[in-house]
């Protein structure tokens, strides 16, 4: 069964001087985890907690460590699940892959597969036109 999900990739300028936090922010922003409505960067904060805790965290644990409300945490966890960046294992949420590098590799493969399908459809359309 193919699971549909949305991938957002933003091409943004990488900061010149970087530290670990800036690199994680750059990655998160490139993956579309920031938006204008999220003034407190709450999605990023949820993502960051999951990056730091590879064994996974419950929604309650994320609520406590981020000082975000439970509905806010649940909302962002649902979005991160929809973006296929995290998984839920029993009551714990964790990053989908064992490292951020392997997560980016996974996303690259998914994007390439989707683009290859689009190319095939485009070829068929071009033949018919």
What is the enclosing helix (H) or strand (E) of 92? strand 92-95
The pTM of this model reads 0.81
The tally of CA atoms less than 13 A away on the side-chain side of residue 11 is 0
**Can you give the residue range of the structural domain that contains 63?**
20-96
Domain-embedded: residue 113: no
User: Per DSSP, what are the bridge partners of residue 94?
Assistant: 87
Domain-embedded: residue 67: yes
Q: Where are the alpha helices (DSSP H) in the chain?
A: 20-30, 42-52, 59-66, 70-82, 100-128
Q: How far apart are the first and last CA of the chain?
A: 32
Supply the DSSP symbol for 5: -
pLDDT (tens digit per residue) in 6-42:
778 888 888 887 788 888 888 988 988 877 777 788 9
Domain-embedded: residue 118: no
CATH number of the domain at 53, please.
Answer: 1.10.10.10
Domain-embedded: residue 77: yes
Domain-embedded: residue 62: yes
> What is the full DSSP assignment across 23-59?
HHHHHHHHTT---TT-TT-HHHHHHHHHHH-TT-B-H
Domain-embedded: residue 89: yes
pLDDT (tens digit per residue) in 92-114:
999 999 899 999 999 999 899 99
Structurally, how many domains does the chain consist of? 1
Domain-embedded: residue 129: no
Domain-embedded: residue 45: yes
User: Per DSSP, what are the bridge partners of residue 87?
Assistant: 94
Q: Given pLDDT bands bounded at 50, 70 and 90, which one contains residue 1?
A: low
């Amino acid at each position: 069964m193919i699971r549909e999900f949305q991938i957002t990739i933003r091409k943004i300028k990488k900061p010149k001087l970087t530290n670990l936090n800036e690199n994680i922010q750059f990655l998160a922003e490139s993956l579309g985890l920031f938006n204008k409505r999220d003034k407190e960067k709450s999605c990023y904060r949820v993502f960051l907690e999951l990056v730091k805790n590879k064994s996974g965290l419950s929604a309650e644990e994320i609520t406590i460590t981020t000082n975000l409300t439970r509905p806010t945490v649940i909302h962002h966890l649902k979005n991160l699940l929809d973006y296929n960046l995290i998984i839920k294992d029993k009551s714990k949420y964790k990053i989908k892959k064992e490292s951020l590098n392997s997560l980016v590799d996974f996303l690259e493969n998914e994007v390439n597969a989707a683009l290859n399908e689009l190319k095939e459809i485009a070829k068929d359309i071009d033949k018919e036109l």
